[in-house]
Chain A
Amino acid sequence: MKRLVPVLLAAALLLAGCFSGGGGSDDGAGRLRVGLSFPPTAGLSPYGNEATLATRLGVTESLTALVGGEAQPVLATAWTQTTPTTWRFTVRPGVTFHDGSPLSPAAVADSLNRAAAATPVPRALSSLKKDTQRSGAGPVEEAGTPLAVAPEGDAVVVTTPLPDPVLPARLASPELVVLAGGAYADPTRPSPVRAGTGPFVLTAVQGSSGASLDRNPSYWRGPVSAPGIDARFLADSAARANGVRAGELDVAEAIPASQAASIAAPAQVVGVPLPRSVSLYLDQRSPVFADPGVRAAVRQAVRPLDVAGSIYEGRADPAAGLFGPASPWAATRPPRVQTPAGPVPPGTRIRLATYSDRAELPEVATADADALRRAGFTVDVTVLDSSALEAQLGTGAYDAVVLSRSQQLDTGDPVSYLASDFGCAGGYNWARYCDPATDAVLAQGGATTDLAARRQAALDAEARVLSADAVVPQVTERARIGVAGGVTGVAEDPNEQTLITATTARS
């Protein structure tokens, strides 16, 4: 025993340094402490999902930004369509990157060309790429890049292989941010450390646990309120809520509905309607759902559930369709014809799946399963991690899935979203829904530059999809941002692309 104690103590001392590091700077002088909802795997690289982490922290910026579904100037001051396939974007003068180098048309062209050549192609551009040619079992032929960007005077000229009416909106994507040349030391995962243009300079990323940022003293929009940010990546939603309650975080995103009620004044939970729908997708090719009457029976069983009021405790909006309050133009949707519910053949078994990354989804799946059992179905529920579930996309492993799905796709374009989720060639078509007439509506809508016509096409396609009972919308989500008392200026962005801005401050 006596000999064991020193051994244990020595080992403990030896290991005392084993902490994840970072977060060391104290919260003196109003630095903002921010809890973000998922850990980065590639140092906040713009290629991939974590691109939004960098834009939410005010590090990187794109040529444009989406406001109300339309592109607004950011690093580009103006743009014109010169031919059906070329656009000219004037680059904002007087902007410098965090490393001191100037924002030039050449730098913009370099960043965009690199992004367009990345593998996989940024989501906002993927529909621009010409159809991939596959010759038998042979290798995939290079289909060319979706964009070619060249500097021209004080502007850049962007050429697309196909006419693209919504290019300025596409360029708002967090994956298409403009970085200084130094960011591309590793071209497969550019690093935004001291390479962005935003109000905050990213100084260090502590692996997947946190990041340190300082105020950008020469931000092009003017002075920045907060002296810096200490960001933490907290995958556990309860940890984010607890952080706000314990006074450890000033801003925390994605507070689960179950925890929102326990965040008391002066802290508050800000709800921002999102273009994000939680829906039950019915696999059209599943033998169970071959009969439209059975699909209608599912809809009739599930629709009466008050998911928004009970599971989301009023912190989400009941869904009238796929598009919710974040898409105000959808309020005037045309009436649609619904198939009457048919009889449920005895012993009909539904394999229902969802993922656990959003705390409410398993509860929604449970409520749906319960409602379906009352309607005479037999239901097996599976809850997986989101990457495990998404890997089953298109395999028909489940007859029905409950998903939370963003309609944003970085472009804010409802037609692209519907084409991807309900088009025959759609890449995220969980319902495996394929209807040539719907595809024609979407193709027609996709070809026009007129915003109102695109939205009308989206509503027409939505009505067709809902009439076919390919999907049963359950709620439209809200961003639930936890904000500590005395913190002001947190961006309420329905696109989830900005959170901390130059005006965010802690008193």
Chain B
Amino acid sequence: MTRGLLRPVAGAAGTVVVLAVLVAALPWLWDSDPAATVLRARYPERGVDPATLDALRRELDLPSNPVLGAAEWLGGLLRGDLGTSWVTRAPVAPEVLGALGISLTLALAATLVAAVVAALLLLPGLLAGVRGRAPGRGAAVAAAVLAALPEIVLGSVLVLVVAVGWRLLPSSGFTGPANLVLPALALGAPAGGMLARILSASVEATVAEGWVRTWRSLGLGVPTLALGVTRRAVAVAVPQIALLVVGLLGSAVAVEQLFTIPGIGSVARGAVLAQDLPTVQAAVTLLVLLGLALGGLGVLVHRALLGPALSGRELTGAAETASRPASRTSVVVAVLLLVAVAAGLPRDPSSGNEARRLAPPSLALPFGADPNGRDLYARFAHGALLTVGSAVVVVAVCLVVGLAVGVGARSARAGAADVLNALPPVFVGLLVAAVAGPGLVGAAVAVALVGWVPLAVHARTLAAEARASGYVRAAELVGASRWRVARRHVLPAVLGPVTRHALARVPHAALALAALSFLGLGAAPDSPEWGAMLAAAQGYLERAPWTVLAPVVGLVALAVVLASARER
């Protein structure tokens, strides 16, 4: 037990050190002088003055190389000193810890909302399953749609309706519990859809287990059975739920900005933009440590609920279920989407026309026009290629990496993967953009950097199961090489399920790319990528809802099409 705990802890500590060196190397990777950026963050619209820059450089006291910088910083960390911000010249610790507390409060509230939403979505399927009937498909589609809703759009609608329209709740700020409701709903509802997707696989697998039939034949009532199935399904999914909470912590940047909440995501974004290295270091490290702690807590709760014997059966987001034909809805939506995109491609997405600014939908402009008077239908169609195309490429890369790592892994736990899992894509995107400048390729790299982890974990679990089977043991006994075993016996068992899992993650990747573009870290702002379209249209949600509708409908349609990928 001690050895089992020691290894991941040592691995995580090693990864934190590597991460610290990487972050400490940022001043050498940034293509602009940190002193110049810090000066601009302190004093905007001010001229360059070499003397001032020199003085500031002396004040910042950059270490002579990244390794030394990381060592100094880690030494400070051990003494509880997180350093002094370059921009505010105040100690980093109070600001970052305060922001982390705010983000934790928000993430927990959002998790509660997500739990309620997921429960509502899962209840019909659960009851049907317990009664021994096949669950309907409505809930699965509803969950996929909800999970594909951009949080920022949901949040903007909530502000306009609840705060501005009804004046029931505050529209922004974070001074009391009333401020928590709207952002928690905006973050929690899509997360609830995501959670329902994870749990529905778990519920279906559990309902198929033998004991459910035994209990049913014993005449136990529906409530007892439902409770038993829920307990087991939740227990299996606990590690994934822990990941969801971690994801809510750092990925809430857009929602934090919308509601002016000084959370860790916003602090980190501001620090990366201002090249405020000490704050970036503190935010990255705290997020990773908290992510690891939450992940560990998830594993402990998982073990406590299941008992050590079964705890190896970790759910990976794509459980095996009986294959079912794709639903009619998916096929219809897929055909509609394809036809709509193909018909829109010949149109011109980039020419503006001042006279058509925010023109409502008409025969000539089926989706209306954007603030620059560009044809939204053409932009929707061209954006589909960009958004879905890059999402597919990202997922393909993730699949290859995930399979290689998962099948090649010797141990069942990997420190680096867990650390990367704790880093939200938005955050990685910020760092990539800070080094390489904003761009769609950088955003894709950022999403891929963290996106391979769930696939690798899934592949690792399946590979471990395959290796434990009799024929693989036999092959090893007769002297088959490690490579041959992996290629001939393990890979075929892993490939199918993990590919289906990867397919189900395409909308997720598209949404992550869109989120980065929305924050100005992805596609160029005038490109028709769906996230960039959302960012450009956000201020017009109320006056010209059609500007927001086109990319949202695209993201939702994509999710509906791929909602059945799991089963196919």
Could you tell me if B172 and A234 are in contact, using CB atoms closer than 8 angstroms?
Answer: yes
Say yes or no: B40 contacts A370, CB within 8 Å.
no
Among the 9-residue stretches A93-101, A156-164, A316-324, A373-381, the one with 4 or more Cβ atoms under 8 Å from chain B is A373-381
- B-contact bits for A254-265, CB 8 A (1 contact / 0 none): 001011011000
Contact B89 A42 (CB under 8 A): yes
Q: Are B43 and A20 in contact (CB under 8 A)?
A: no
- For A175, the closest partner residue in chain B by CB is B43
Partner of B32, one of A261, A310, A362, A395: A395
Decide yes or no whether A452 CB sits under 8 A from chain B.
Answer: no
* Chain A interface SS verdict (over half): loop
A140 and B371 contact, CB distance less than 8 A: no
Shortest Cβ distance from B23 into chain A, in angstroms?
Answer: 18
Whole-angstrom distance between the alpha carbons of A318 and B104 in the complex? 47
Q: How far is the CA of A311 from the CA of B108 in the complex (A)?
A: 40
Q: Would A120 and B172 be within 8 Å (CB), given that A16-B177, A42-B89, A143-B51 are in contact?
A: no
- The one of A12, A140, A234, A363 that contacts B536, using a Cβ cutoff of 8 Å: A363
**In whole angstroms, what is the CA distance A393 to B164 when docked?**
40
* Interface assignment of A394: CB less than 8 Å from any CB of chain B: yes
Chain B residues whose CB sits within 8 angstroms of the CB of A420 once the complex forms: 47
Cβ contact within 8 Å between B524 and A15: no
Contacting pair B32 A392 (CB below 8 A): yes
User: A188 and B48: CB pair below 8 A?
Assistant: no
Partner of A232, one of B108, B173, B235, B352: B173
A356–B46 alpha-carbon span in the complex (Å): 18
Per-position 1/0 for A105-140, Cβ under 8 A of B: 000000000000001110100100000101000011
Which residues between 237 and 251 of chain A lie within 8 Å of chain B, taking CB atoms? 237-239, 242-243, 245-248
Chain A residues with Cβ below 8 Å from B258 are 236, 238-239
| Closest CB in chain A relative to B291 CB, distance in Å | 16
Q: Which of A188, A235, A362, A429 has the most CB of B within 10 A?
A: A362
Looking at the complex, which of B282-290, B413-421, B493-501, B538-546 is the stretch in contact with chain A? Answer: B538-546
The proximity string for A residues 411-435 relative to B, scoring 1 for CB distances below 8 Å and 0 otherwise, is: 0000000001000001111000000
B33 within 8 A of A: yes
**Scoring A residues 384 to 409 as 1 if CB is less than 8 Å from chain B, else 0, what string do you get?**
11111011111100000000011000
The answer to whether B105 and A15 touch across the interface, beta carbons within 8 angstroms, is: yes
- Chain A residue numbers with a CB within 8 Å of B540 are 258
Min Cβ gap B286→A in Å is: 14
- Of A1-9, A461-469, A474-482, the one contacting chain B is A1-9
Check A391 against B33 for contact (C-beta < 8 Å): yes
Chain A residue nearest in CB terms to B179? A19
Complex Cα spacing A370 to B379, Å:
14
CA gap between A210 and B262 in the complex, in Å: 11
- Quick one: given A48-B42, A120-B49, A143-B51, are A15 and B108 in contact (CB under 8 Å)? yes
- Asked whether A207 is an interface residue with its Cβ less than 8 Å from the other chain, the reply is yes
Q: Contacting B48 at CB < 8 Å: which of A4, A16, A393?
A: A393
Of A15, A189, A261, A391, the contact of B36 (CB 8 Å cutoff): A391
Q: How far is the CA of A234 from the CA of B163 in the complex (A)?
A: 16
Q: Is B55 an interface residue (CB 8 A)?
A: yes
C-alpha gap A189/B90 in the complex (Å) = 10
What's the Cα separation between A406 and B44 when bound, in Å? 11
Chain B residues, Cβ within 8 Å of A387: 37, 40-41, 44, 273-274
Which residue on chain B has the smallest CB distance to residue A363? B371
Q: Is B45 an interface residue (CB 8 A)?
A: yes
Contact, CB under 8 Å: A362 / B536: yes
- Bound together, the chains give a CA A235 to CA B87 distance in angstroms of 17
Compute how far the CA of A16 lies from the CA of B197 in the bound complex, rounded to whole angstroms.
29
A383 and B48 alpha carbons, distance in the complex (Å): 21
- Using CB atoms, name the residue of chain A closest to B354: A310
The verdict on A248 contacting B36 (CB below 8 Å), with A236-B260, A385-B273 known, is no
Min distance, Cβ B365 to any Cβ of chain A, angstroms: 16
Bound: A232/B50 CA distance, A? 35
**Distance between Cα atoms of A4 and B235 in the complex (Å):** 10
State whether the Cβ of A23 lies closer than 8 Å to any Cβ in chain B: yes
The closest CB in chain A to the CB of B176 belongs to: A19
Task: Identify which of A1, A132, A306 contacts B234 (C-beta below 8 A).
Answer: A1
Tell me the nearest residue of chain B to A235, going by C-beta: B260
B44 to A49, Cβ gap below 8 A?
Answer: yes
Could you tell me if A388 and B163 are in contact, using CB atoms closer than 8 angstroms?
no
Q: In the bound complex, do residue A391 and residue B105 qualify as a contact, i.e. CB atoms below 8 Å apart?
A: no
- How far, in whole Å, are A188 and B89 apart by their CA atoms in the complex? 9
A11 located at the interface, meaning its Cβ lies under 8 Å from any Cβ of chain B in the complex = yes
Closest CB in chain B relative to A454 CB, distance in Å? 20
A262 touches B32 (CB 8 A): no
Minimum distance in angstroms from A310 CB to a CB of chain B: 4
Contact with A along B91-116 (1 / 0, CB 8 A): 00001001001101100110110000
Q: How far is the CA of A369 from the CA of B539 in the complex (A)?
A: 21
- The answer to whether B47 and A386 touch across the interface, beta carbons within 8 angstroms, is no
Is the Cβ of A381 less than 8 Å from the Cβ of B526? yes
Question: In the complex, which residues of chain A have a beta carbon less than 8 angstroms from the beta carbon of B15?
Answer: none
Contact of A382 among B37, B41, B102, B524 (CB under 8 A): B524
> Closest CB of chain A to B181's CB: distance in Å?
13
With a cutoff of 8 Å between Cβ atoms, the chain A residues found around residue B260 in the complex are: 209, 232, 234-236, 239
- The answer to whether B88 and A123 have CB atoms under 8 Å apart is no
Contacts of A286 in B (CB 8 A): none
Contact B36 A24 (CB under 8 A): no
Minimum distance in angstroms from A384 CB to a CB of chain B: 7
For residue B245, give the distance in angstroms from its CB to the closest CB of chain A: 10
B301: interface (CB < 8 Å): yes
Question: Do A370 and B352 touch (CB < 8 A)?
Answer: yes
Give the contacting residue for B174; candidates A132, A209, A259; CB below 8 A: A209
Interface membership of A443, Cβ < 8 A: no
Answer yes or no: A21 CB below 8 A from chain B CBs.
yes
**Is A298 an interface residue when CB atoms closer than 8 A count as contact?**
no
Q: How far in angstroms is the closest Cβ of chain B from A76?
A: 26
Complex alpha-carbon distance, A18 and B106, angstroms = 9
A248 in contact with B170 (CB, 8 Å): yes
Cβ–Cβ contact A427 & B49, under 8 A: yes
Is there contact, CB below 8 Å, between A49 and B43?
yes
Given A48-B43, A305-B354, A405-B45, residue A239 in contact with residue B175 (CB < 8 A): no
CB B380 to nearest CB in A, in angstroms, measures 17
Report yes or no: B357 in contact with A19, Cβ–Cβ below 8 A.
Answer: no
* Complex-state Cα separation, A311 to B172, whole angstroms: 26
B320 within 8 A of A: no
Distance of A114 Cα from B350 Cα, bound (Å): 54
**Smallest CB separation, B272 vs chain A (Å):** 9
Cβ distance B88 to chain A, nearest Cβ, rounded Å? 4
Give 1 or 0 for each of B510-540: 1 = CB within 8 Å of chain A CB: 0000000000100011100000000010111
With A and B bound together, what is the CA distance between A188 and B101 in angstroms? 29
Query: In the complex the two chains form, is A19's CB within 8 Å of B175's CB?
Result: yes
Contact check: which of A7, A242, A262, A370 meets B171 at CB < 8 Å?
Answer: A242
Chain B residue nearest in CB terms to A35: B172
23 contacts between A and B (CB under 8 A): A1-B230, A12-B112, A42-B42, A42-B90, A120-B39, A120-B56, A134-B50, A209-B260, A236-B258, A237-B539, A238-B156, A242-B159, A246-B170, A356-B525, A362-B525, A366-B526, A370-B352, A373-B350, A374-B351, A383-B438, A385-B273, A420-B47, A428-B45
Pairs of residues from A and B, 8 with the lowest C-beta to C-beta distance, nearest first: A427-B47, A18-B101, A390-B40, A391-B37, A120-B52, A387-B40, A258-B539, A239-B172
